[in-house]
């Protein structure tokens, strides 16, 4: 009878593990949808071809030769390696591998296998919290390394053996992947502070100086290891630049940075993906309550980790994902500890595990089918390629084919794809490498007609590429349509491409914006990408003065995609 119970328990634990893995894979096997993907990919190619890490900007005409501390070089090289192996599908599978590896490390950080239900629930909430950041950006390996560090520190708490020295090579890799290596260093010093404070609490053992010394050695050697990057001390100090990305609005405004994802969570919570917001709120509440229920036994380290990462999440929406990684093991451990004192009946426990495993598999199916994105108004789509409705793919192909004279005016978000598709023939105005542009960032990101004219006086554009479907170009698009000096020569639901009128460009065919067949027919079932195409058509018709056609499409969108209309468009 006992062996039968053990077999059932193991089977339920395996079902929960497979369910969590399925949810992680479903959120990972989605089409690529980050604008920075392309310049990271091109940088990886540049590194592979030149056998060196770039020290200065090779991609722009606006700040050519500007200092570039490319802290992400190892991620870029790996990204390009995957792409060279099997294209975009290999990159998507790489995302899934990293997410599953992160989940494995988080399970190790929980440090107990006798409560698979609480562990699975915590990991599920972690995946939901991270879901909007599972992209081929260097922060994804950061999530993996943060989970690995939490697992090693949890092991050190119970077994202070030589495994803790693995943190030194971990930080050596981390500093060459992402600027958030500083979070890992900070976590080490939090652990040091917790070791010392723990011994001064009533009823706790006095500080173990041997443990503190070993942890201090690891922290200092890890910090020294962070000097081993292509930029040396500049690379080590790179996170200071990121203060301009996660600090208060006044600080970020000094370089003209106004990205929504870098805004405070409290002030911009409506802009957070609903799945990620639900995961964050549930994880914050669940882990906070579980820790309070074990307040007398609460380790100082757990309290410090929860507080610091929660504060980071409040400072900037992009840090919500970091909280998801840090808080998941806390929820699982402290919920498990509470259940040790108040164990549920075996029948209740087995039933709840079965229901959770079923819910996990159902959720994986909903996400994998694309239904979840449509229901939550999220701009994601299942698949192994890229979301073509996000990037100026058609416009860039047209430029490569027709070879109009540059330079190109474009939005910062389009710069990455232009680097990938057109470098070195067409340098870009601006892209997502915020640290490269410095004080010029504000001027180069101007999108009003007045800002365009000011930039045109400086750079004398030959091409103006407007990614009107995803960026706020509401005034500039109709203004350019009315200018005799510019001709609309290419149009799709993502971009409108204008070429300056010159004798050399007289042979280019102009788009007739009054034509009935301005856009091709749209067929197929409902999907996020179909929605984006319709959204783009409505926006162009509105800018071109075709109000009747714009209203017709908006009515169709309201009927077919009510969740997106209520949310104000694709997130």
Q: In this structure, are strands 496-500 and 408-409 parallel, antiparallel, or unpaired? A: unpaired
Task: Give the E-state strand segments of 176-287 in sequence order.
Answer: none
The number of beta carbons lying within 10 Å of the beta carbon of residue 451 is 16
What letter does residue 485 receive in the DSSP assignment?
T
The closest alpha carbon to 60, from 423, 435, 537, belongs to: 423
d(CA 133, CA 224): 30
What pLDDT shows up at residue 208? 80
What pLDDT does 250 receive? 47
Between CA 71 and CA 370, with CA 571 as vertex, the angle to 5 degrees is 100
Task: Look up residue 290 and give its two tokens.
Answer: 């579980």
With b meaning 16 or more CB within 10 Å and e meaning fewer, what string describes 83-114? beeeebeebbbbbbebbebbbbbbbbbbbeee
Q: What contacts 24+ positions apart, CB below 8 Å, involve 101-105?
A: 101/144, 102/143, 102/144, 102/147, 102/325, 103/20, 103/21, 103/24, 103/127, 103/147, 105/144, 105/147, 105/148, 105/150, 105/151
Enter the DSSP assignment of 488.
E
Distance CA 232, CA 219 (A): 18
- Tokens linked to 274: 């609903």
| Region of residue 51 (left: phi > 0; alpha: psi -120 to 50; beta: else) | left
Contacts of 153 (CB under 8 A, 6+ apart): 164, 187, 188, 191, 301
Residue 7 confidence (pLDDT): 65
Give, as one character, the DSSP assignment of residue 498. Answer: E
Tokens of 83: 């792409």
pLDDT of residue 254: 45
Q: Which residue has the tokens 């820790």?
A: 291
Q: Which two tokens stand for residue 171?
A: 């930080």
Cβ count within 10 A of residue 141: 22
Model pLDDT for residues 65-95, shown as the tens digit of each residue: 999 999 999 999 999 999 999 999 999 999 9
pLDDT at position 100 is 97
Q: pLDDT under 70 in the chain at which residues?
A: 1-9, 241-264, 267-269, 567-571
Q: How many residues are recorded in the chain?
A: 571
Q: Provide the token pair at 326.
A: 């840090």
Instruction: Tell the residue number behind the tokens 């292509």, with chain if given.
Output: 230
Whether a cis peptide bond, with omega within 30° of 0, leads into 424 is yes
- Edge to edge, the sheet with strand 408-409 lists 408-409, 463-466, 496-500, 486-491
**Nearest Cα to 146, choosing from 14, 380, 312?**
312
Dihedral sign, Cα of residue 552, residue 555, residue 561, residue 566: positive
CB atoms inside a 10 Å sphere around CB 362: 13
pTM, rounded to two decimals: 0.92
């Amino acid at each position: 009878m006992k062996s039968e119970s053990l077999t059932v328990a193991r089977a339920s634990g395996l079902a929960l593990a497979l369910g969590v893995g399925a949810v992680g894979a479903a959120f990972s096997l989605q089409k690529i949808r980050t604008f920075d993907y392309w310049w990271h990919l091109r940088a990886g190619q540049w590194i592979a071809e030149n056998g060196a890490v770039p020290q200065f900007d090779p991609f722009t005409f606006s700040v050519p030769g500007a200092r570039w501390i490319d802290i992400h070089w190892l991620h870029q090289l790996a990204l390009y390696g995957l792409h060279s192996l099997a294209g975009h599908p290999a990159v998507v599978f790489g995302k899934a591998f990293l997410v599953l590896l992160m989940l494995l490390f988080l399970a190790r950080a929980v440090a107990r296998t006798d409560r698979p239900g609480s562990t699975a629930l915590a990991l599920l909430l972690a995946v939901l919290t991270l879901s909007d950041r599972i992209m081929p950006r260097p922060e994804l390996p950061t999530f993996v390394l943060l989970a690995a560090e939490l697992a090693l520190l949890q092991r050190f708490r119970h077994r202070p053996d030589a495994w803790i020295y693995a943190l030194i090579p971990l930080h050596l890799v981390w500093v060459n992947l992402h600027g958030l290596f500083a979070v890992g260093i900070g976590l080490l010093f939090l652990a040091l502070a917790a070791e010392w404070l723990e011994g001064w609490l009533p009823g706790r053992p006095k500080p173990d100086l041997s443990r503190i010394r070993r942890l201090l050695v690891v922290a200092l050697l890890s910090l020294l290891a962070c000097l081993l990057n292509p930029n040396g001390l500049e690379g080590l100090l790179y996170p200071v630049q990121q203060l301009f990305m996660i600090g208060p609005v006044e600080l970020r405004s000094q370089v003209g940075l106004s990205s929504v994802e870098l805004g405070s969570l409290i002030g911009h919570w409506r802009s957070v993906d609903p799945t990620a917001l639900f995961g964050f709120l549930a994880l914050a509440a669940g882990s906070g309550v579980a820790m309070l229920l074990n307040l007398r036994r609460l380790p100082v380290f757990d309290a410090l980790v929860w507080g610091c990462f929660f504060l980071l999440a409040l400072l900037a929406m992009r840090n919500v994902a970091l909280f998801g990684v840090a808080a998941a093991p806390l929820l699982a451990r402290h919920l498990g500890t509470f259940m040790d004192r108040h164990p549920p009946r075996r029948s209740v426990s087995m039933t709840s595990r079965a229901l959770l495993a079923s819910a996990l598999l159902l959720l994986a199916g909903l996400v994998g089918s694309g239904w979840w994105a449509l229901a939550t108004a999220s701009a994601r789509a299942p698949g192994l390629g890229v979301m073509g409705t996000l990037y100026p793919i058609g416009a860039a192909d047209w430029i490569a084919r027709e070879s109009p004279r540059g330079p190109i005016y474009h939005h910062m978000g389009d710069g990455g794809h232009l680097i990938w598709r057109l470098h070195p023939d067409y340098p870009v105005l601006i892209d997502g490498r915020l640290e490269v542009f410095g004080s010029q960032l504000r001027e180069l990101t101007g999108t009003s007609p007045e800002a365009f004219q000011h930039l045109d006086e400086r750079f004398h554009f030959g091409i103006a590429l407007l990614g009107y479907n995803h960026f706020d170009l509401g005034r500039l698009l109709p203004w350019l349509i009315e200018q005799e000096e510019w001709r609309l020569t290419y149009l799709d639901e993502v971009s409108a491409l204008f070429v300056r009128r010159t004798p050399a460009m007289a042979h280019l065919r102009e788009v007739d914006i009054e034509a009935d067949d301005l856009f091709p027919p749209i067929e197929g079932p409902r999907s996020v990408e179909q929605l984006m195409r319709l959204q783009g058509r409505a926006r162009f018709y509105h800018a071109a003065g075709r109000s009747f056609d714009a209203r017709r499409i908006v009515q169709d969108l309201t009927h077919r995609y009510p969740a997106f209309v209520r949310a104000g468009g694709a997130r």
